[in-house]
Amino acid sequence: MLGVMYGIGLWYGSTLVEKNSIRVGDMFGCYFSFIIAGMALGEAGSVATDLTNGTSSANQFYHIQQRNVEMKQADIDDPIVKKQPLKGEIEFRNVSFVYPTSPDKLVITNLSFKVRHGQTFAIVGPSGSGKSTIVSLLERYYDPKFGEIFVDGELIHNYDIHFLVLFSKKIFLTEEEGGDLKKNKHKIM
């Protein structure tokens, strides 16, 4: 089909040259311009799907980025950003928590503990007792309903959230179901 079109193009061009309507150079210039433009348009069509996907992903990204997050704000003017790495001392002081979707069900009630730097600390309990929830609070997916959480002696919500994200990358959640803890090389912190 393309060959036929090229043939017709050359034939029509040559008739115009014969009539002295156009010059040979103009004919070939026009001929190749159409071929190259056609190929470019064809390639542009193949990225249309990627463009649509990219636009939709960018929309979702900006929607998530600009939403209002209900997060406890820092009590201080300049949220904490430390130059040196955090030691990782953790204290829960009388922490109680309910999930926003089940506001009547206390998942954690008046929990207090302190983990010092370098100390090994295990959270053990039956399914549904709130172990993963404790880690979620430490990663600031949620804020406690009552009580306070301290990291290196500072209230957790006073840290700059972006700085805390770097800290939370060092937190690994290892779930054990009656296995041998020694066989698992992961650490909580």
Q: Please tell me whether residue 132 binds ligand ATP under the rule CB under 6 A.
A: yes
> Of 26-34, 47-55, 98-106, 159-167, which part binds ligand ATP (CB under 6 A)?
98-106
Name which of 27 and 108 has its Cβ closer to ligand ATP: 108
User: What is the DSSP annotation of the chain?
Assistant: -HHHHHHHHHHHHHHHHHTTSS-HHHHHHHHHHHHHHHHHHHHHHHTHHHHHHHHHHHHHHHHHHHS----PPPSSSS-B--SSPP---EEEEEEEEE-TT-TT-EEEEEEEEEE-TT--------TTSSHHHHHHHHTTSS--SEEEEEETTEEGGGB-HHHHHHHHTT------SS--GGG------
Q: Which of 86, 107, 137, 149 binds ligand ATP (CB under 6 A)?
A: 107
From the CB of 109, what's the least distance to Mg ion, in Å? 17
Q: Please tell me whether residue 125 binds ligand ATP under the rule CB under 6 A.
A: yes
> What residue has token string 């309910």?
98
Q: Which of 92, 130, 156, 164 binds ligand ATP (CB under 6 A)?
A: 130
Of ligand ATP, Mg ion, none, which one sits near residue 130, judging by CB under 5 to 8 A according to partner kind? ligand ATP
The residue sitting closest to Mg ion, measured at its beta carbon, is 132
> Of 12-20, 42-50, 131-139, 181-189, which part binds ligand ATP (CB under 6 A)?
131-139
Binding residues (CB under 6 A) for ligand ATP: these are 99, 101-102, 107, 125, 127-133, 175
